[in-house]
């Protein structure tokens, strides 16, 4: 997101226009669309656009958005994003204008096909089929997302238009209710921002991340945005000082170029602060310098490296921070040289070097990639990516959330590239293991893999690979997949093939269980039929018939309760257990609460009526923004909205999310913790404990200190009443001499119990 966009992130004004003003506004927006699209027009295109606009305007004429504005402004805005920010053309614009008509109005796919032909009808149909992913809260999220991916591999324009739709929805999210903001932002950060990144739409990915953070982490967002604004003049001065000698060198060498500095996104700064445990002032790379060289295709690589040479003549580079995506472009087409150099005043500065062609691909992603690919016989990495997705989807037989997780880790992650023994390059997601690599080569090789040689050194199948590794797989005909393999593979193909293999083995074992059950029932003169099998499956709460037979075979279920069964006319009736009834009652009660959209008070009068617990993954305390998650068997679990697992829970289990708030109760204390790093000095522990117990009167639950080489690192668990008290403690500790860092511990690493 640009600095200007950051400064514009304020609450949207309330919509209030007369019908005449509305007409003028719609016409003005439509003309703005025509203006950006006009360079792409061929004969007859403008008439088609006008017809699509007229159909959409008529279909949506009685509809309004949450802001009160005419609905037609939304499809126009989506179309402008598609043309201006993604680089799509006339047919995609028609689809954008019509993208909600079939879903929300009387217009049919047949109407669209009659007016605009089969290609546009197929894209609009794809957009209609996946519209439920954004706005509903069904348990079919993963199944719906599969539809997106199938359409993506069929025609990528569907997902590009959907990303434009999501971007405009995020830009206007201020008008939605708080719980809707959280749900949509969570979906965005969980799936749509990574998908935009994978499609090469870096600007859109960045803006989606920043806008999601605006609603999920409002305090952190406002704080960083304000500090970026306050330090803008100082940064501009430094950027000018940094690029002045580079400009002179580049001009002298005869390059035609642009050079400028741009601030890092709020979300990336926030991530760095959390990852490194530092304050805003300690984040060194708040901006990056970008150099765009205007070059002919045959000289691109040579000229980028010449520019790199000139930069490193002026400023000393950090060798481990060189990223060469020119020799090995990312699979989404991204090409550039990234280096980090030591600038004036001892500051590290990231410099990105691209040509004008590379820059357009970086800005417009897939659309620009295909534009430059036309007429080229080069291997297309996008097409390979789509082929991999098709293969995985076609072999998936589940609609569980596991599918979404597999897809995210396998296809939306950053990549590494590794080599086969013959020197062929394979692209894999970060954290891939030798076993992932084996399955990438062939399913049979993966299933028989017993080890690997990485750079000629023997390693286990769980060994994590790094970019540049050369990998040789070792196989054995006696090897077969085990359940443990699922713990360390990350690619969707490997997971799918391992699960298929385990399922086949499970089926074979289940056949033994089926025989055991048949003999047992016949011995008791009970018919072995589907009706009686279903009764047993229901009684033992087994997810499927396969699992039921398997559990019998491995003696997990010994069928002891059969002795208490009743048989009436050959029909088996198992005894009813009272505890099952109670569990169902509790589950129903929570579902009822979420449907009513009620606010549950966590503490106070209702605390004895609601079964709740505080999530260990984020350890919420009063004052934190929280939500409730209805868990099977564990009641209501309270998570912070910025919990590491929040986005996944809200995006995938929306019906089980309950709006919650804290009741004021100063009598209850909550266990939380802080991590302290500082200079190891005499009496430092005494100073820390004096502030906590002596001055603030806070009870310490545990304290561990490790020191070495002049520094100490401590973890202190304390009981506090609320977030305000914890923040006061953190600020007081930061003021102590020699203390370098104090931060809240709020995840599983803190090991709260």
Give the span between the Cα atoms of 75 and 58, in whole angstroms: 13
Contacts of residues 307-312 at CB distance under 8 Å and 24 or more positions apart, as own/partner, are 307/250, 307/255, 307/257, 307/337, 307/353, 308/337, 308/339, 308/353, 310/246, 310/249, 310/250, 310/253, 311/246, 311/339, 311/341, 311/351, 311/353, 312/339, 312/341
Pairing of strands 287-293, 348-355: parallel
Give yes or no for a contact between 60 and 129, defined as CB atoms under 8 angstroms apart: no
CB within 8 Å of 233: residues ≥ 6 apart: none
Say whether 71 sits in a helix, a strand or coil. coil
Cβ contact 94:41 at 8 Å: no
| Non-local CB neighbours of 464 within 8 Å, separated by 6+ positions | 431, 432, 433
Pull the structure tokens for residue 740.
């370098």
| Of 353, 345, 359, 344, the residue nearest 310 (C-alpha) | 353
SS3 523: helix
- Among 104, 113, 535, 680, the active-site one is 104
The helix-helix angle for 530-539 and 492-523 (nearest 10°) equals 110
Q: How far is CA 288 from the centre of its chain?
A: 24
**DSSP string covering 180-234, please?**
HHHHHHHHIIIIIHHHHHHTT-HHHHHHHHHHHHHHHSHHHHHHHHHHHHHTHHH
Strand order across the beta sheet in which 670-679 lies? 699-708, 711-720, 670-679, 739-745
Please say whether the beta carbons of 324 and 354 come within 8 A. no
Altogether, the residues listed in the chain come to a count of 753
Residue 103 bears catalytic tag: yes
Token pair for residue 750? Answer: 């803190």
Beta-strand pair 612-614/635-640: parallel
CA distance 240 to 469: 40
Name residue 715's beta-bridge partners: 675, 704
User: In the chain, what is the straight-line distance between the N-terminal and C-terminal CA atoms, in Å?
Assistant: 40
Quick check: 148 and 159 in contact, CB under 8 A? Answer: yes
Among candidates 322, 401, 329, which has minimal Cα distance to 656?
Answer: 401
From the candidates 45, 103, 111, 512, give the one annotated as an active-site residue. Answer: 103
Alpha carbon distance 492, 486 (integer Å): 10
Q: How far is it, in rounded angstroms, from Cα 72 to Cα 57?
A: 6
- Is 158 in contact with 123 (CB distance < 8 Å)? yes
Judge whether 285 counts as a catalytic residue: no
Per the CB < 8 A criterion, the answer to whether 704 and 717 are in contact is no
Active site residues: 103-104
């Amino acid at each position: 997101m640009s600095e200007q966009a950051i400064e514009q992130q304020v609450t949207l004004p309330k919509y209030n226009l007369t019908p005449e003003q509305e007409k003028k506004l719609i016409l003005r927006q439509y003309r703005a669309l025509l203006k950006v699209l006009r360079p792409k027009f061929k004969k007859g295109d403008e008439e088609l656009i006008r017809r699509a606009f007229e159909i959409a305007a008529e279909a949506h004429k009685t509809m309004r958005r949450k802001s009160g504005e005419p609905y037609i402004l939304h499809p126009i805005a989506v179309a402008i994003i598609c043309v201006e920010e993604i680089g799509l053309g006339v047919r995609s614009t028609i689809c954008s204008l019509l993208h909600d008509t079939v879903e929300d109005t009387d217009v049919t796919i047949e109407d669209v096909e009659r007016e605009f032909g089969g290609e546009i009808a197929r894209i609009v149909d794809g957009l209609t089929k996946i519209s439920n992913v954004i706005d509903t809260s069904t348990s079919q999220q993963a199944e719906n997302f599969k539809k997106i991916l199938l359409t993506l591999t069929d025609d990528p324009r569907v997902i590009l238009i959907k990303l434009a739709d999501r971007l405009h929805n995020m830009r206007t999210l201020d008008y939605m209710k708080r719980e809707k903001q959280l749900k949509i932002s969570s979906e965005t950060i969980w799936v749509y921002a990574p998908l935009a990144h994978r499609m090469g739409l870096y600007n859109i990915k960045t803006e989606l991340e920043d806008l999601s953070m605006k609603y999920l982490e409002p305090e952190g967002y406002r704080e960083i945005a304000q500090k970026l604004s306050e330090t803008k003049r100082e940064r501009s001065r430094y950027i000018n000082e940094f690029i002045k000698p580079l400009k002179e060198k580049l001009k002298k060498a005869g390059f035609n170029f642009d050079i400028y500095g741009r601030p890092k996104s709020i979300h990336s700064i926030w991530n760095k602060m959390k990852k490194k445990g530092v304050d805003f002032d300690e984040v060194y790379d708040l901006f990056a310098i970008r150099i765009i060289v205007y070059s002919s295709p045959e000289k691109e690589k040579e000229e980028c490296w010449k520019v790199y040479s000139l930069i490193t003549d002026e400023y000393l580079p950090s060798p481990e921070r060189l990223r060469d995506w020119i020799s090995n472009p990312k699979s989404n087409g991204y090409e550039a040289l990234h280096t980090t150099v030591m600038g004036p005043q001892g500051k590290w500065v990231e410099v990105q070097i691209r040509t004008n062609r590379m820059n357009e691909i970086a800005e417009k992603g897939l659309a620009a990639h295909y534009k430059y690919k036309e007429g080229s016989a080069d291997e297309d990495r996008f097409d390979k990516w789509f082929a991999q997705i098709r293969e995985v989807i076609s072999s998936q037989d589940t609609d569980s959330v596991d599918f979404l997780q597999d897809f995210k880790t396998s296809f939306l992650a950053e990549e590494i590239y590794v080599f086969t023994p013959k020197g062929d390059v394979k692209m894999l997601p970060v954290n891939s293991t030798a076993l992932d690599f084996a399955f990438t080569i062939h399913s049979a090789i993966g299933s028989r893999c017993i080890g690997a040689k990485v750079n000629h050194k023997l390693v286990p199948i769980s060994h994590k690979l790094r970019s540049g590794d050369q990998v040789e797989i070792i196989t054995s005909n006696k090897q077969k997949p085990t359940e443990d393999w699922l713990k360390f593979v990350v690619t969707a193909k490997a997971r799918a093939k391992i699960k298929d293999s385990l399922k086949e083995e499970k089926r074979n074992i289940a056949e033994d269980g089926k025989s055991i059950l048949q003999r047992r029932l016949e011995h008791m003169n009970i018919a072995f039929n589907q009706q009686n099998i279903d009764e047993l499956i229901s009684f033992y709460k087994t997810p499927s018939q396969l699992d039921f037979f398997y559990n019998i075979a491995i003696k997990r279920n010994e069928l002891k309760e059969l002795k208490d069964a009743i048989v009436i006319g050959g029909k088996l009736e198992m005894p009813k257990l009272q505890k099952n009834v109670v569990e169902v009652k509790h589950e129903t009660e929570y579902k009822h609460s979420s449907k009513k959209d009620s606010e549950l008070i966590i503490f106070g009068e209702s605390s004895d009526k609601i079964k709740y617990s505080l999530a260990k993954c984020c350890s919420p305390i009063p004052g934190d923004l929280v939500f409730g998650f209805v868990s099977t068997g564990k009641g209501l679990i309270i998570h912070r909205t910025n919990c590491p697992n929040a986005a996944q829970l809200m995006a995938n289990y929306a019906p089980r999310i309950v709006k919650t708030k804290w009741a004021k109760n100063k009598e209850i204390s909550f266990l939380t913790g802080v991590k302290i790093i500082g200079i190891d000095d005499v009496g430092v522990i005494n100073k820390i404990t004096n502030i906590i117990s002596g001055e603030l009167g806070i009870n310490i639950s545990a304290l561990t200190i490790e020191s070495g080489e002049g520094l100490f690192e401590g973890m202190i668990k304390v009981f506090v009443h609320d977030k305000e008290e914890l923040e006061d403690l953190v600020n007081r500790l930061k003021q102590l001499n020699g203390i370098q860092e104090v931060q809240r511990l709020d995840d599983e690493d803190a090991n709260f119990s």
